[in-house]
Amino acid sequence: MIGGELDRMAMAVLQPGFEGTEPPGWLRRALADGLGGVVLFARNVDRDGVRDGVRHGAADSTGEGASAGPANGDAVAGTAALVAELRRERPDVVVAVDEEGGAVTRLEAATGSSWPGNMALGVAGDVSLTRRVARQIGRMVAAAGVTLDYAPVVDVNADPRNPVIGVRSFGCDPEEVGRHGAAWIEGLQSAGVAACAKHFPGHGDTVTDSHLALPAVRASREVIERRDLPPFRAAIAAGVRAVMCGHLLVPAVDTLPATLSREVLTGLLREELGFDGLAVTDAIEMRAVAALHEPGEIAVRALAAGADAICVGVSSAGGESVYALRDAITRAVREGRLAEERLAEAAGRVRDLAAWYDAQAEARAAVARDADEGLGLAAATAALRATPADQAVTPLTKAPLVVHLAARPSQAVGRATPLKLGQAIEEILPGTVTAEVHEDGRLPDLSETGRPLVIAVHDAVRHAWMRRLLDDALRARPDAVVVETGVPGPPAGRLYLATHGNSTACARAAARWLTGGV
């Protein structure tokens, strides 16, 4: 193959991120040179819909002006304008985004997600509700012109101490995770956007964040087969268009990280599970693999193992890093380290995904007219669980003090800023006072017994300092209400309310419930 064709094929398998709400010059050149995809982050979302001095009204992916999203129409419309510019350079570019709903949102990063996340949907227990929520997320993503949504998470949350999955999972039961994962995929793809099940072969049984180090799943092959793989089998049976491989070490399958393992990506995913869609890596700058090899070497090894698309969250300001990846791939082909046929197969799967998206234009036009008003709040409300369940709850009638015990969010959450519980209560009870306490902080004065006390925690089961401060607060105020927005632990306080998620929708549902508004 001549050099120009090989270069374009190598560019086709890359999905880099970039800075800003306008396509930089290097990205335009790369698209002309055959770049197959891009990935959008919160930093690319125009939060007020103003670009080049012009406010862009909400529009669907067909440009027909339909409402784009429940809370962020301007931001979605601004993103759609950005995507339109990308498509002018390359009409079949695969535009990807992490839009899970719940804690992980890019298009609603400014306000937090209008939807509960996966664990809330799993607790609600209604797969038809899950399908409806995913279709509405698809409606928003389609309005932004996005091809591929890096969702849903179908990891089984086997360890409640997991620092990066948690409420992003549908739960800890493989069958239920599979049922809800399949419904989510069906809902999203009915909106004409490709879904991506992640993080293969299962990130739920880890206590390490792969953004920071390489996690290991030490379970036996039998446990992996029984616990971690069924949701991926269900996703494949539901027709999922893509699967994302996690940066995981799974010794029962291979001694190499899954991203670089032919046993995982070809033997397990392709040959055993029968998946023939797009296999994409998690971002290759994550320390789980970045600590092992240079970016070009990671890309080459992942492609050789069976990956089809290389996700690169961070690119150099001038795009040199993207071209360096291209050159590393073409050099590996010329040296015989990466088969040209394997690279051609990967590039072909990228084209196939783009062709699938093009064929879904009618589905995107239909979903643009299919608003499901109030669904996010209703779904979040369905996931609320109180202990004791049979206690007649006295609603908050006076503005409370709300103390948030706040840990640093996972890097997966990024720049999302969901409405906090105190803010949501203040919308209903003006005069509500909010205090935020971090690991090295101290509790505020809790002696004002005339003001109700609400303590909000997130994943207290994972944080000893949070449990300690919670115990201190309850000794001072045993009448306090405790709201857990993450994975629930042992109930505490006069009333313990679990939301099973920390999105804006979850905060508003909890506030309405606590104030007697449900």
Name the residue among 303, 289, 277, 278 with its Cα closest to residue 246.
289
More confident residue, 290 or 133: 133
Q: Which domain-ending residue is among 341, 368, 395?
A: 368
Taking every pair of C-alpha atoms in the chain, what is the biggest distance, in angstroms? 79
The continuous run of DSSP H or E covering 453 comes out as strand 453-457
Same domain, 11 and 39: yes
Same domain, 343 and 480: no
Name the residue among 441, 440, 445, 439 with its Cα closest to residue 401.
445
Task: Using pLDDT thresholds of 50, 70 and 90, give the confidence band for residue 2.
Answer: low
Q: Is residue 379 part of a domain?
A: no
Query: Contact at 8 Å (CB) between 515 and 481?
Result: no
Same domain, 274 and 161: yes
Q: Is residue 377 part of a domain?
A: no
- pLDDT tens for 242-260 read 999 999 999 999 999 999 9
Same domain, 296 and 340: yes
Q: Say what the pLDDT of residue 449 is.
A: 81
Q: Is residue 155 part of a domain?
A: yes
Q: What average pLDDT does this structure show over 482-506? A: 96
SS (H, E, C) 193-214: CEEEEEEECCCCCCCCCCCCCC
The amino acid at residue 236 is: I
The burial class, CB within 10 Å (0-12 / 13-18 / 19+), for 172 is: middle
The amino acid at residue 432 is: T
Q: Of these residues, 282, 404, 458, 459, which one is catalytic?
A: 282
Name the residue among 308, 300, 231 with its Cα closest to residue 265.
308
More confident residue, 307 or 448: 307
Q: Count of CB atoms within 10 A of residue 424's CB?
A: 23
Same domain, 283 and 390: no
Indicate if the pLDDT at residue 359 is higher than 60. Answer: yes
Indicate if the pLDDT at residue 117 is higher than 80. Answer: yes
Task: Using pLDDT thresholds of 50, 70 and 90, give the confidence band for residue 33.
Answer: very high
Q: Is residue 429 part of a domain?
A: yes
Indicate if the pLDDT at residue 110 is higher than 60. Answer: yes
Indicate if the pLDDT at residue 413 is higher than 80. Answer: no
Same domain, 271 and 349: yes
CA angle 295, 301, 306 (to 5 degrees): 125
Query: Contact at 8 Å (CB) between 189 and 239?
Result: yes
Q: What is the mean pLDDT of the chain?
A: 92
Indicate if the pLDDT at residue 60 is higher than 60. Answer: no
Q: Which domain-ending residue is among 342, 368, 394?
A: 368
Query: Contact at 8 Å (CB) between 171 and 123?
Result: yes
- pLDDT tens for 257-276 read 999 999 999 999 999 999 99
Q: Say what the pLDDT of residue 389 is.
A: 74
Same domain, 19 and 120: yes
Same domain, 308 and 437: no
Peptide bond into 409 cis (omega under 30): no
Q: Is residue 378 part of a domain?
A: no
More confident residue, 97 or 516: 97
- pLDDT tens for 70-91 read 456 788 999 999 999 999 999 9
Q: Say what the pLDDT of residue 497 is.
A: 96
* Beta strand pairing call for 433-437 and 310-312: unpaired
Q: What average pLDDT does this structure show over 176-196? A: 98
Token pair in block for residue 382: 């369905």
Gap between the Cα atoms of 192 and 190, Å rounded = 5
Q: Count of CB atoms within 10 A of residue 297's CB?
A: 16
Query: Contact at 8 Å (CB) between 258 and 245?
Result: yes
Query: Contact at 8 Å (CB) between 48 and 78?
Result: yes
Gap between the Cα atoms of 235 and 266, Å rounded = 17
Task: Using pLDDT thresholds of 50, 70 and 90, give the confidence band for residue 156.
Answer: very high
Q: Is residue 375 part of a domain?
A: no
Task: Using pLDDT thresholds of 50, 70 and 90, give the confidence band for residue 416.
Answer: low
Q: Which range of residues forms the domain containing residue 291?
A: 3-368
Q: What is the DSSP letter of 282?
A: P
Q: Say what the pLDDT of residue 48 is.
A: 59
Q: Which domain-ending residue is among 368, 397, 419?
A: 368
Q: Say what the pLDDT of residue 506 is.
A: 97
Q: How many domains does the structure of the chain reveal?
A: 2
Q: Say what the pLDDT of residue 47 is.
A: 64
- pLDDT tens for 443-470 read 999 988 889 999 999 999 999 999 999 9
Q: Is residue 506 part of a domain?
A: yes
Same domain, 26 and 162: yes
Name the residue among 121, 122, 168 with its Cα closest to residue 380.
121
Query: Contact at 8 Å (CB) between 351 and 12?
Result: yes
Phi/psi-derived region of residue 306, left when phi > 0, alpha when psi is between -120 and 50, beta in every other case: left
Query: Contact at 8 Å (CB) between 449 and 477?
Result: yes
Q: Of these residues, 211, 247, 404, 500, which one is catalytic?
A: 211
Q: Is residue 82 part of a domain?
A: yes
Query: Contact at 8 Å (CB) between 495 and 127?
Result: no
Q: What is the DSSP letter of 272?
A: I
Task: Using pLDDT thresholds of 50, 70 and 90, give the confidence band for residue 53.
Answer: very low
Q: Say what the pLDDT of residue 390 is.
A: 62
Give the least confident one: 131-135, 163-167, 348-352. 163-167
Q: Count of CB atoms within 10 A of residue 394's CB?
A: 12
Q: What is the DSSP letter of 234?
A: H
On the CB side of 330, CA atoms within 13 Å amount to 18
Q: Say what the pLDDT of residue 30 is.
A: 98
Gap between the Cα atoms of 48 and 52, Å rounded = 12
Task: Using pLDDT thresholds of 50, 70 and 90, give the confidence band for residue 517.
Answer: confident
What are the φ/ψ torsions at residue 40 (nearest 5 degrees)? -95, 145
Q: Count of CB atoms within 10 A of residue 369's CB?
A: 11
Same domain, 357 and 388: no
- Cα radius of gyration rounded to whole Å, the chain: 23
Gap between the Cα atoms of 18 and 41, Å rounded = 8
Domain at 42, CATH number: 3.20.20.300
Indicate if the pLDDT at residue 104 is higher than 90. Answer: yes
Following DSSP, what letter does each residue of 308-345 receive, concatenated?
-BEEES---TTSHHHHHHHHHHHHHHHTTSS-HHHHHH
Q: Is 458 assigned a catalytic role?
A: no
Token pair in block for residue 103: 């804690």
Same domain, 33 and 175: yes
Q: Say what the pLDDT of residue 87 is.
A: 97
Gap between the Cα atoms of 42 and 498, Å rounded = 28
Task: Using pLDDT thresholds of 50, 70 and 90, give the confidence band for residue 56.
Answer: very low
Domain at 461, CATH number: 3.40.50
Q: Is 33 assigned a catalytic role?
A: no
Same domain, 237 and 336: yes
